[in-house]
Structure 1
């Protein structure tokens, strides 16, 4: 209720601003994520976040009386399909802007569709560093609302070194995401004069990594980093349990997928991962969002809180941007507004004050991420001091 009153008040406040046009014509938001296939767990979580934000905005009048319409497409986590549906939304459906992509490889295949047509793209989930590096920010129409992999890999390696571990094994899938993560980890390890004692590569869909885990154990690894997505991280967890391997288990944010403890069993206990949002009873805004999200989801499983929350924030942030552009949705107008946000957006993940600039299209900096851990089937703050500080807003370092 408190959140709804705040949203209504915000709508009335913005309604006093001059606008270019007010009509019943919907604001059409393109939405692309994997709604089927092996990545559906976080694709459908992102969808639920986008749907909830759209529902809430429409319940208080949309954008100055114009309803928000989510035009959804399923990329199936297949790069060629991602490009195909991107072309459909931009060229045929002519949506006003697009919020899209969970998988780095799918995003990279489709980016030129948005860039070539000066169509604004907000990436809410995919974290591959190349997504926002493919085009110089000053000319790019691609923005991101997730923590890129260079931040995550640096963060994980720093924690490993802080604990005194010097022997690290890396497991990475054969996608662009896994390849990029492996290179990032190797680079940050090298800065500490370390290199992996074992590297395992595998295809998505792998069912057994017991031999690879046994090899890492034989190499004397004290810590294992897995750079892949949820189902394959669950396979790593099962292999960890099968080999009775007690090395610390680290991963980027996909290690937080619900599928990891659900199918990874005991091997997931104690696994540590990068997070931008962790349930926290002291944070009223966050817990209210989680409750509303669960009501909206009903019986649908929530594979990833992060995917849902970051996508929810992306939709609400773009509504704020539209008020700043007086309803103009050309790529240039939206790009200018995002790079020069006039009013902070208090999101459920964090407060975005100046998330972007003409030289930086990534909304997160290193100080805005946490180390989470699976404990008894729930994600918690790994460090008690982080839990104590979680109520303090972490703003982007400029």
Structure 2
């Protein structure tokens, strides 16, 4: 659809949109939901002033690793954002103005991430969605903070990303479970299973550093200390010596904190040693680099998840169906795509809360922190995802433990599969 031919008001777009029906294809349901959102926004006083901009696109920055070792989850993140933007634009965009993505590849390199972030800000984007790698994010977020340009992070889990600045002043938001949530959640599961001798394997990036610290703190809260700690560089091909040392230290579980093929190096090395202890960790254990790189050695691994790709309700089924239809494949990293999709809609909802239609960084920040219209998302129903004092949309009750079974991710506990039928809301 040509943006120039889009209806000039959200109400017009909504009138033309299909009404929901069980007989409609699932993507049509999603389109109807988007139309209803925009129709409601057209009723707010003062929003029609946004028409002063005519069909001028609303430019939104996107930054992430779309090539290189972290493209595993960078590409699904980007695809989730594009899917949401396509749906929003199909029903009129922001009051007749199409959303336009300005996409920059950071290649999982901190220096490159800082460079392309400067480019995005020079391009005058109204806000940015992005960052998968914590080390890359931490190298660049000061640029967005100093420019007072809102940044919503859908993938990077490093605790420091949303704690670097005082919350009331911070322009950095996140739709993802920070490591300070993930680590205690997994440690609780480890203790419940009776695994009390933990070996930590963490890479030397900002992600691995922060994850290591969060795991150590979570263990300490249970009066435990790691029996062995291995630190390694990205790209390592052999960790046999460190695995043997962990085995000799009596470890009965390996907690890994890395984002790439190194997770598979750990699993394959453990198998080569004939050492049958479980491997647990954060969400990168659900990535193709691990599942395909380790194959049968990945079986039984446990990881923290916000979203497991099972169509437990209509909105999740619609998202999964729309994604596979648009990209002609199943989503490779469902969490990355779903969190990014929800982040995009939350940003759009913040626009709709700005009554004079002037999309300044300060206005977007205050709208995100305020009482936005409830968004019925994929990961959660977001009633008040952020506040002046809280920049993280995901809370512990939204987390589940995922399990590698037959090369795919499923629920580790049947009760979580049942609980997944009900969308968890922020606590």
Q: Secondary structure at the match of 1:274?
A: strand
- Counterpart for residue 340 of structure 2: 311
Residue 4 of structure 1: aligned partner? 31
Which protein shows a greater Rg?
2
**Following the alignment from structure 2 to structure 1, what is the Cα–Cα distance between the partners of residues 128 and 106?**
14
1:364 equivalent in alignment to 2:391: no
Choose the corresponding residue for 2:385, options 355, 376, 385: 355
Q: How does 1:1-398 map to 2 (within 5 A)?
A: 1-18=28-45, 19=47, 20-22=49-51, 23-90=54-121, 92-298=122-328, 302-326=331-355, 327-397=357-427
1:4-53 CA-partner distances (Å, limit 9, x unpaired): 22222222222222313211010100000011111111111111111111
Bigger mean CA offset, 366-375 vs 323-332: 323-332
- Give the C-alpha shift of residue 191 in structure 1: 1.6
The gaps in structure 1 that reach 5 residues or longer are none
1:302 Cα offset (Å):
4.1
Query: Contact (CA 8 Å) 1:259, 1:303: kept in 2 or not?
Result: no
Q: RMSD in angstroms over aligned alpha carbons?
A: 1.3
Distance 1:179 1:102 in 2: 15
Q: Which region of structure 1 is more displaced relative to structure 2, 205-214 or 49-58?
A: 205-214
CA positional deviation for 1:218:
2.2
Q: How far, CA to CA, are the matches of 1:76 and 1:279 in structure 2?
A: 26
Once residues 210 and 291 of structure 1 are traced to their aligned partners in structure 2, the CA distance between those partners, rounded to angstroms, is: 42
The Cα of 1:259 is off from its aligned counterpart by: 2.1
Contact 2:158 2:178 in 1 (8 A): yes
Q: 1:58-110: CA deviations, max 9, x gaps?
A: 111111110110100001111111111111111x2001111110010111111
Q: Supply the distance in 1 between the matched residues of 2:304 and 2:358 (Cα, whole angstroms).
A: 36
Q: What is the TM-score of this pair, normalised by structure 2?
A: 0.90
TM-score (norm 1): 0.96
Count of residue correspondences: 395
* Contact 1:230/1:255 (<8 A) preserved: no
SS in 2 for 1:199: strand
Match of 2:3 in 1: none
Moved more, 341-350 or 148-157: 341-350
Structure 2: stretches of 5+ with no match in the other structure: 1-27
Q: Give, in angstroms, the shift of residue 238 of structure 1.
A: 1.3
CA distance in 2 between partners of 1:94 and 1:3 (Å): 30
SS of corresponding position for 1:224: strand
Structure 2: how far apart are the matches of 1:149 and 1:341? 26
CA contact (8 A) 2:109 2:136 kept: yes
Structure 1 outlier segments of 4+, above 3 Å: none
